[in-house]
């Protein structure tokens, strides 16, 4: 049977319009589906953000707990002079707690350098696992005390691993000259790796000292201190900067080394005076936009200088800005939070501890303002001595915004290899309580606080991907 033309075109039109309307319906349903999925994802994402945010607050509060300590009561160390000398010179003048701390025969010294029995070991599972014990001996995964003094930490995106670089001081302590500072020959820069910032595996000496060539910057009779490493995304190199000096600290230079791998070996390039100036305690800082800066104590440690590195991070470029002029600060540790630059520094008293100061700036090139002593909790003496330690680095934590780890060295100048690490939580926020540089008493900056804890840990699953 054949269909008349009119009816055929009516049917075709029907089919066509049916097709059009079902395609439109399909399109609308798809759009609706996509919108619903998007909406759900959006809500879900907000949920997740809320959880992270509230976890973050809980975590911050725990770390911000103010732990007070009793004031110290110690019996002063015995007068070790002969009875004749005592008679001749009279009884010993009362000593300060810092002098006692530096005297390896004193109770104070023994208190601040607890022996091996209390060492913290990642090999021993138990209650201490993942807990930081500021000042106690800290062992690596081989069971040896960690040797990474004056150090700094690099988080390597390529391997999602933390690397801790620092001075290996595992040699005898001696004085090169009667009046010079206690020292250890250059052994080299050690590197340790970790995923959790607590369990550290020794990756060995990544930049060794030089044994025979006396004219080499790294000859063992010289000084290599405060090594710091950053990664250059453009050149794919790991670049190390460090303080290079002679035994009397008169060379006052900065050294540069480079490697293809975070675990070395690093090739030493040269030492120099940045822009012709002295450089002693120093650090480097890589900004969010990939630009890197050096900051060092200069002009007899009376001021700090800050300036940009070249694009390959192998040299200084442009000009250096003089900051905190006349303040005599050293041991700079720089970090950034919500667009503001912060820095912790120490006073210049050699291996002896002194009071830390926090500084802040809107531009890394300054002006820098001084906020006050960031140390919180403990007791008056602990706070006025940076917990008997000296700043070296501030570690940003992946996934925990606004919380950092303050890294400091508790130097033991009678046995430098036995110097300890004081790691404490540092947070930014809250009202400042010791305004120094503020105009008309109105604070410009949120407070930086370093919280004393005898024992503490990072919140479980603190790394973003673990949350
Ligand atoms: C400190 C400095 C240390 C080391 C020491 C030597 O002032 O921060 O890194 O150089 O002096 O006495």
For residue 348, give the ligand 1 atom closest to its CA. 7
Q: Is the CB of 309 under 6 A from ligand 1?
A: no
pTM of the model: 0.86
Q: Which two tokens stand for residue 61?
A: 């509060």
Please indicate whether residue 351, judged by its CB atom, sits closer than 6 Å to ligand 1: yes
- Per-residue confidence in pLDDT tens, the chain, 467 aa: 444 554 555 544 454 455 555 666 665 666 665 555 444 444 444 444 444 445 556 667 778 888 899 888 877 767 667 777 777 777 667 689 999 999 999 999 999 999 888 899 998 877 788 999 999 999 999 999 999 999 999 999 999 999 999 999 999 999 999 889 999 999 999 999 999 999 999 999 999 999 999 999 999 999 999 999 999 999 999 999 999 999 999 999 999 999 999 999 999 999 999 999 999 999 999 999 999 999 999 999 999 999 999 999 999 998 899 999 999 999 999 999 999 999 999 999 999 999 999 999 999 999 999 999 999 999 999 999 999 999 999 999 977 888 999 999 999 999 999 999 999 999 998 655 555 555 565 667 888 999 999 999 998 878 755 44
CB 424, CB 134: distance < 8 Å:
yes
Question: In angstroms, what is the span from residue 106 Cα to ligand 1's centroid?
Answer: 23
Residue 78 to residue 81: CA distance in whole angstroms: 9
Our answer on whether the CB atom of 330 is closer than 6 Å to any ligand 1 atom is yes
Token look-up 């994802």 returns 41
SS3 241: strand
User: What's the order of all strands across the beta sheet hosting 448-451?
Assistant: 375-376, 448-451, 420-428, 400-410, 390-397
Asked whether the bond before 127 is cis by omega within 30 degrees of 0, the reply is: no
> 249, 253, 296, 350: which to mutate for ligand 1, most atoms within 8 A of CB?
350
Residue 45: strand, helix, or coil = helix
Instruction: Assess contact for 262 and 238: CB atoms under 8 A.
Output: yes
Q: Which atom of ligand 1 is nearest to the CA of 249?
A: 10
What does the DSSP 8-state code read for residue 290? S
Residue nearest to atom 2 of ligand 1 (CA): 350
User: Which residue's CA lies nearest to atom 5 of ligand 1?
Assistant: 350
**Protein residue with its CA nearest to atom 12 in ligand 1:** 350
The answer, yes or no, to whether any atom of ligand 1 lies below 6 A from the CB of 348, is yes
Contact 165, 189 (CB under 8 A): yes
457: left (phi over 0), alpha (psi -120 to 50) or beta: beta
Q: Which superfamily does 113-457 belong to?
A: Glycosyl hydrolase domain; family 43 (2.115.10.20)
Asked whether 331 lines ligand 1 (CB < 6 A), one says yes
Candidates 148, 351, 354, 356: which one to mutate for ligand 1, based on the most atoms within 8 Å of Cβ? 351
pLDDT tens for each residue of 202-231: 999 999 999 999 999 999 999 999 999 999
Q: Is 255 exposed, middle or buried (0-12, 13-18, 19+ CB in 10 A)?
A: buried
Residue 181 in contact with ligand 1 by CB distance below 6 A? yes
Report pLDDT digits (tens) over 57-72: 666 777 888 889 988 8
């Amino acid at each position: 049977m054949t269909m008349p033309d009119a009816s055929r075109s009516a049917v075709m039109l029907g089919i066509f319009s049916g097709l059009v309307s079902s395609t439109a319906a399909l399109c609308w349903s798809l759009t609706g589906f996509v919108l619903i999925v998007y909406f759900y994802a959006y809500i879900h994402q907000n949920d997740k953000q809320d959880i992270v945010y509230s976890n973050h607050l809980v975590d911050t509060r725990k770390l911000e707990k103010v732990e007070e300590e009793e004031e110290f009561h110690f019996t002063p160390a015995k007068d070790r002079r002969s009875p004749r000398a005592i008679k001749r010179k009279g009884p010993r003048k009362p000593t300060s707690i810092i002098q006692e701390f530096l005297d390896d025969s004193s109770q104070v010294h023994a208190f601040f350098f607890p022996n091996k029995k209390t060492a913290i070991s990642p090999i021993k599972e138990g209650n201490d696992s993942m807990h930081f014990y500021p000042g106690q001996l800290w062992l690596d995964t081989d069971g040896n005390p960690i040797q990474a003094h004056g150090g700094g930490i690099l988080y390597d995106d390529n391997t999602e691993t933390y690397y801790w670089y620092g001075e290996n001081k595992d040699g005898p302590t001696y004085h090169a000259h009667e009046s010079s500072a206690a020292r250890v020959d250059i052994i080299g820069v050690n590197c340790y790796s970790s995923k959790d910032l607590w369990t550290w595996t020794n990756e060995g000496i990544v930049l060794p000292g030089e044994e025979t060539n006396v004219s080499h910057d790294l000859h063992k009779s010289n000084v290599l201190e405060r090594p710091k490493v950053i990664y250059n995304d453009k050149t794919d190199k790991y670049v190390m900067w460090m303080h290079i000096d002679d035994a009397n600290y008169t060379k006052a230079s900065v050294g540069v080394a480079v490697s293809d791998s975070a675990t070395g070996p690093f090739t030493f390039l040269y030492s120099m005076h940045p822009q012709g100036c002295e450089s002693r305690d120093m650090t480097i800082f890589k900004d969010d936009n990939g630009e890197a800066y050096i900051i060092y104590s200069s002009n007899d440690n009376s001021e700090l200088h800050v300036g940009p590195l070249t694009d390959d991070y192998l040299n200084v470029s442009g000009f250096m800005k003089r900051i905190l002029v006349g303040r005599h600060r050293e041991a700079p540790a720089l970090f950034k939070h919500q667009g503001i630059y912060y820095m912790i520094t120490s006073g210049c008293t050699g291996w002896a501890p002194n009071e830390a100061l926090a500084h802040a700036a809107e531009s890394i090139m300054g002006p820098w303002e001084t906020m006050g002593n960031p140390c919180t909790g403990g007791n008056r003496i602990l706070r006025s001595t940076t917990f008997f330690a000296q700043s070296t680095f501030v570690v940003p934590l992946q996934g925990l915004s606004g919380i950092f780890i303050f890294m400091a060295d508790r130097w033991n100048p009678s046995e430098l290899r036995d110097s300890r690490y004081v790691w404490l939580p540092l947070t930014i926020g809250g009202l400042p309580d010791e305004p120094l540089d503020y105009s008309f008493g109105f604070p410009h900056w949120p407070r930086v606080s370093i919280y004393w804890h005898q024992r503490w840990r990072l919140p479980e699953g603190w790394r973003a991907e673990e949350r």
